[in-house]
A = this chain, B = another copy of it.
Amino acid sequence: MKKLAIQDYYEDEFSVCYGCGRLNQDGLQLKTFLINNETISKHKPKENKTAINGIVYGGLLASLIDCHGTGSASIFYARENGIELKKYNAPRFVTGNLNVSYLKPTPLETELTLKGQLKEIKGRKVVVSIEVFSQGVLTVKGEVIALLLPENFRG
In the complex, the chain B residue whose C-beta lies closest to that of A149 is: B52
CA distance A49 to B26 in the complex (A): 9
Does B57 contact A60, Cβ atoms closer than 8 Å? no
With an 8 Å Cβ cutoff, the count of chain A residues facing the other chain is 39
Q: Mark A66-100, 1 if CB is under 8 A from B, else 0.
A: 11000000000000000000000000001111111
A–B complex contacts, Cβ < 8 Å, 21 sampled: A13-B53, A16-B50, A16-B52, A16-B53, A17-B51, A18-B57, A18-B59, A27-B48, A51-B94, A53-B155, A54-B155, A57-B63, A58-B98, A59-B60, A62-B62, A62-B66, A95-B102, A96-B101, A99-B99, A99-B100, A105-B155
